[in-house]
C-alpha cells in the first residue's frame, strides 16, 4: 500500500510513496506524532534530480528490513528541498555546525520532538563503507544516544539554537553604506580566482557561478573594462563548448565534475538555465559572438520543447539518471554514432565532438564536447539532427514537473531578456505564458503560493518567490507593454515590505511574518545556486522606486544594502546581487520611457534592445500621437527627445549596435 506521500504534490515525495517506510510529509501530524510517541524524528531531505538521493532510496528506503528499523525507532519525515527551502536552509546550516562538514543531498538529520537536530550527515550507505557506518546500525546507535543522553542533548541544543541565531546579520548602530571599493574588491577577487586555462572560477567540481559572470559583464558596461569582458566571455565560451552544455539538445547541466567543463553532473535545473540564458544574451550584445547566439537559441528551444507545460508554467528539472545510470541518456560510443551517419557526416562529427580521442566518460563512452573546428557546417547540422532524433528514442531521464514560482521567475527573466536581445517574439510569448499561469494559479488574495502540480497550488511563498517574480516582471515590462504589469509589480513590492521586511534591522527574512514558526528564521544575503533573495529584492525594489516614484521601495533597498555592508566588505565576490544593487545606488539606474504609436516606437525600441546597458530600463507606452523619449537619470529627466538620432546621441549608442 502506498504511504502518506502518495497525496503530495512533490514528484520527489511521490517517488517514495511505495517505500515500506512509514513516511510523513513535514507538517503538524508528523510533529505531533513525535511528541506523542516519544520517538525522535528522522528528517530526510532531497530532490527528484538528486543522484545520491536515489542511491540511498534504493539501498535503504526500499529495503523492508531497513524500513522496519526506521519505523520502530523514529518518526520519519521526507522533505523536498525545492518545495521547502526554508526547512532545508535551517538544517543544512545546522548540519555544518554539528559535523564541521559541508552539507548536500540527501541530508539526513535526527531531531528531537522540538525539531532541534542532535545528529546528522548526508548520504549513509546500507552497509559500512566509504568510512561511513551502515545505516541500520547508525539508526540504532542514534536512537540509543537520544534515549540515554538527554541532558547532553539539551545542552547541545541550546548551543546550536544560539549559534543559529548568530548567523543572521544585525544592524549595529549607524552602519555605513558600502562604497565603490566593494565593487573593486569583488572584481579583484574574481581576477585572482579566475581559471585562465579553462574559464570559470576555482577548481572541480566546477559550477557556472552566473553571479560572478554577471558582475564582470556589468563592470565592463560601467567602465569599459576589457579584462572583465574577456574573463566573462572566455568562461561562457568554454562552458558552451564543453560537456556541461548539451551539444545536441541544448541546456546546461548543474555543474562539471572536472576542471575542463567536460563531464557534467547530468541533471538539468530550470534555475541554472534561466540565469545563464540571460547572461548569454547579455554577452552576445557585448561581443556579437555567434557562439553565444547559438547557445542561447538552443537553450531557449530546449526550455520550450521540454520544460514548459501546456498550462504555461515551467517544470523544475530533469534527472541525471536514466535506466539506473547517470548520464546514460546523453553519452555515445563511436560505433553508435557511425551506425546513424553517412561516412562524410561522421568524418565531420568525430573530430568536432572528440570521438576520435579516448573515451571521456567512465572510460567506456563519450560525452560530446567541442574539440575541433567545424569543417562543414551543413554536414554537422544534418548529423546533429539524426543523432538528436535517435537520442529522443532512448529512455528519457525523469522530469520533475512541479512548477515553482521562484524558478519560473528566473526563466521568465531569462526568456524576456533574450527575446529583446535577439528579437524573438516566440521567446517572449513563452515567458508571458508562464507569467499568466502564475497570476492565474498561484496568486491568490494578494499573496503567492510557492508550488503547483496537478491542479493544486499550495505552501506559503518565500522571499525568493516575491523577489524573483518582481525582477522578472521588470524584465517583461521592458520587452513588451502590458497594462497590468506595473500594478502587479507594485503589489509584489508592497508584500515584500509588509510581510518580509525586518522593520528593526532592515533586509528581508526568507519567510513571511505569518509563516509557520520553525527553530530559526534565515535572512540570507549570500548568492548560492540561485541569487540571494535579499540581493534581488533590493535591486528590483530600487528600480521599482524609479518607475513608480514610491521612494519607500528605495528606502527598503538602501537599508538592505546597509545591513549586509560588513559581510560584503569581508567577501564581496559572494554578494554579486547586492554588488549590482550597490552599483545602482551609487549611480541611479537610467530610465528611458518611449511614447507614441506602437509601430513608430518599434525602431526606437529595437535600437535600444540591441545594446548592452544593464543599468538602463526601457519601457514603452504605446498610444500617444507622436513619438518621443523621456530619459531620466535617477529623479532628473531631460526634455523629451523627438528623434531617433538624438536619442542615439544622448545615450552614446554607436551606430553599429543597431545592425
Question: 646 phi and psi, to 5 degrees?
Answer: -65, -35
Q: Copy the grid coordinates of residue 514.
A: 505569518
**Whose CA is closest to 463, among 405, 401, 411?**
405
Helix, coil or strand: residue 48: coil
User: Measured between alpha carbons, how far is 205 from 202 in angstroms, rounded to an integer?
Assistant: 9
Give, in order, the Cα–Cα distances in Å from 324 to each of 250, 328, 396: 23, 8, 11
d(CA 361, CA 258): 11
- What is the pTM for the complete model shown? 0.97
Cross-strand pairs, 195 = none
Which residue has cell 546550536?
160
Q: What is the dihedral of CA 423, 425, 426, 428, to 10 degrees?
A: 100
CB environment 193-204: b (16+ within 10 A), e (fewer): ebbeebbbbeee
Q: Where are the domains of the chain?
A: 4-166, 330-393, 590-658
So what's the pLDDT on residue 176?
77
Comparing C-alpha atoms, which of 143, 127, 148, 150 is closest to residue 73?
143
E strand residue ranges, 285-364: 317-318, 321-322, 325-326
The whole-number pLDDT of residue 439 equals 98
Cβ contacts of 111 within 8 Å, gap of 6 or more:
34, 40, 41, 43, 117, 118
Report, at the CATH architecture level, how domain 4-166 is classified.
3-Layer(aba) Sandwich (3.40)
Question: What is the mean pLDDT for each group of 10 consecutive residues in the chain (659 residues)?
Answer: 92 97 98 98 95 94 98 98 98 96 95 97 94 95 97 97 93 79 96 97 95 97 96 98 98 97 96 98 98 98 98 96 93 98 98 97 97 96 98 97 98 98 98 98 98 97 98 98 96 98 96 98 95 98 97 97 94 95 95 95 96 97 90 94 96 68
Closest CA to 132 of 47, 55, 190, 78: 55
CA-to-CA separations, 485 to 225, 331, 361, 438, 488, in angstroms, rounded? 35, 43, 47, 13, 5
Residues with Cβ within 8 Å of 280's Cβ and at least 6 positions away in sequence, in order, are: 236, 240, 292, 293, 295, 296, 299, 418
Closest CA to 107 of 599, 93, 115, 116: 93
Amino acid at each position: 500500500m502506498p504511504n502518506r506521500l502518495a497525496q503530495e504534490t512533490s514528484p520527489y515525495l511521490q517517488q517514495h510513496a511505495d517505500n515500506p517506510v512509514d513516511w510523513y510529509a513535514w507538517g503538524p501530524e508528523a510533529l505531533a506524532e513525535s511528541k506523542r510517541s516519544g520517538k525522535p524524528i528522522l528528517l530526510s531531505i532531497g530532490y527528484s534530480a538528486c543522484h545520491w538521493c536515489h542511491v540511498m532510496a534504493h539501498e535503504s528506503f526500499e529495503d523492508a528490513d531497513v524500513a522496519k528499523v526506521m519505523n520502530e525507532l523514529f518518526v520519519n519525515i521526507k522533505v523536498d528541498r525545492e518545495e521547502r527551502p526554508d526547512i532545508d536552509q535551517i538544517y543544512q546550516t545546522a548540519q555544518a555546525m554539528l559535523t564541521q562538514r559541508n552539507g548536500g543531498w540527501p541530508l539526513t538529520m535526527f531531531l528531537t520532538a522540538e525539531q532541534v537536530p542532535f545528529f546528522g550527515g548526508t548520504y549513509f550507505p546500507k552497509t559500512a563503507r566509504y568510512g561511513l557506518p551502515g545505516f541500520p546500525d547508525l539508526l540504532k546507535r542514534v536512537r540509543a544516544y537520544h534515549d540515554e543522553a538527554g541532558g547532553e542533548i539539551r545542552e547541545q541544543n541550546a548551543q546550536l539554537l544560539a549559534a543559529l541565531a548568530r548567523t543572521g546579520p544585525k544592524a549595529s548602530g549607524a552602519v555605513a553604506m558600502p562604497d565603490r571599493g566593494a565593487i573593486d574588491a569583488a572584481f579583484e577577487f574574481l581576477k585572482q580566482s579566475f581559471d585562465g586555462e579553462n574559464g570559470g572560477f576555482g577548481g572541480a567540481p566546477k559550477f557556472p557561478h552566473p553571479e560572478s559572470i554577471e558582475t564582470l559583464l556589468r563592470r565592463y558596461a560601467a567602465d569599459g573594462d576589457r579584462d572583465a569582458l574577456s574573463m566573462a566571455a572566455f568562461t561562457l565560451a568554454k562552458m558552451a563548448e564543453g560537456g556541461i552544455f548539451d551539444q545536441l539538445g541544448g541546456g546546461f547541466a548543474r555543474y562539471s565534475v572536472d576542471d575542463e567543463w567536460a563531464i557534467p553532473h547530468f541533471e538539468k535545473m530550470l534555475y541554472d538555465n534561466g540565469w545563464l540564458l540571460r547572461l548569454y544574451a547579455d554577452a552576445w550584445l557585448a561581443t556579437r559572438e555567434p557562439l553565444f547566439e547559438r547557445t542561447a537559441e538552443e537553450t531557449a528551444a530546449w526550455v520550450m520543447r521540454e520544460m514548459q507545460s501546456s498550462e504555461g508554467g515551467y517544470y523544475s528539472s530533469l534527472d541525471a539518471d536514466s535506466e539506473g545510470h547517470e548520464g546514460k541518456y546523453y553519452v555515445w560510443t563511436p560505433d553508435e554514432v557511425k551506425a546513424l551517419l553517412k561516412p562524410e557526416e561522421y568524418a565531420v562529427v568525430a573530430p568536432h565532438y572528440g570521438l576520435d580521442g579516448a573515451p571521456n566518460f567512465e572510460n567506456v563512452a563519450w560525452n560530446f564536447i567541442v574539440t575541433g573546428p567545424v569543417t562543414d557546417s551543413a554536414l554537422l547540422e544534418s548529423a546533429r539532427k539524426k543523432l538528436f532524433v535517435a537520442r529522443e528514442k532512448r529512455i528519457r531521464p525523469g522530469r520533475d514537473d512541479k512548477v515553482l514560482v521562484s524558478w519560473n521567475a528566473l526563466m521568465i527573466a531569462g526568456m524576456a531578456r533574450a527575446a529583446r536581445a535577439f528579437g524573438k517574439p516566440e521567446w517572449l510569448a513563452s515567458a508571458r505564458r508562464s507569467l499568466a499561469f502564475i497570476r492565474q494559479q498561484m496568486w491568490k488574495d494578494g499573496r503567492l503560493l510557492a508550488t503547483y502540480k496537478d491542479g493544486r497550488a499550495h505552501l506559503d511563498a518565500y522571499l525568493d518567490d516575491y523577489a524573483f517574480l518582481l525582477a522578472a516582471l521588470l524584465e517583461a515590462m521592458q520587452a513588451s507593454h502590458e497594462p497590468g504589469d506595473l500594478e502587479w509589480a507594485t503589489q509584489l513590492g508592497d508584500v515584500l515590505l509588509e510581510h518580509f521586511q525586518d522593520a528593526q534591522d532592515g533586509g528581508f527574512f526568507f519567510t513571511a511574518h505569518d509563516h509557520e514558526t520553525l527553530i530559526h528564521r534565515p535572512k540570507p544575503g549570500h548568492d548560492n545556486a540561485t541569487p540571494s533573495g535579499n540581493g534581488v529584492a533590493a535591486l528590483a525594489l530600487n528600480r521599482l522606486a524609479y518607475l513608480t516614484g514610491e521612494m519607500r521601495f528605495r528606502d527598503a533597498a538602501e537599508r538592505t544594502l546597509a545591513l549586509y555592508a560588513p559581510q560584503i566588505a569581508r567577501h564581496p565576490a559572494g554578494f554579486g546581487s547586492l554588488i549590482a544593487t550597490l552599483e545602482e545606488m551609487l549611480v541611479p539606474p537610467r530610465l528611458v520611457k518611449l511614447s507614441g504609436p506602437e509601430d513608430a516606437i518599434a525602431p526606437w525600441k529595437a535600437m535600444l534592445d540591441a545594446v548592452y546597458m544593464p543599468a538602463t530600463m526601457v519601457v514603452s507606452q504605446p498610444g500617444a500621437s507622436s513619438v518621443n523619449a523621456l530619459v531620466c537619470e535617477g529623479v532628473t529627466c531631460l526634455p523629451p527627445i523627438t528623434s531617433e538620432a538624438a536619442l542615439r546621441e544622448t545615450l552614446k549608442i554607436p551606430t553599429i549596435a543597431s545592425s
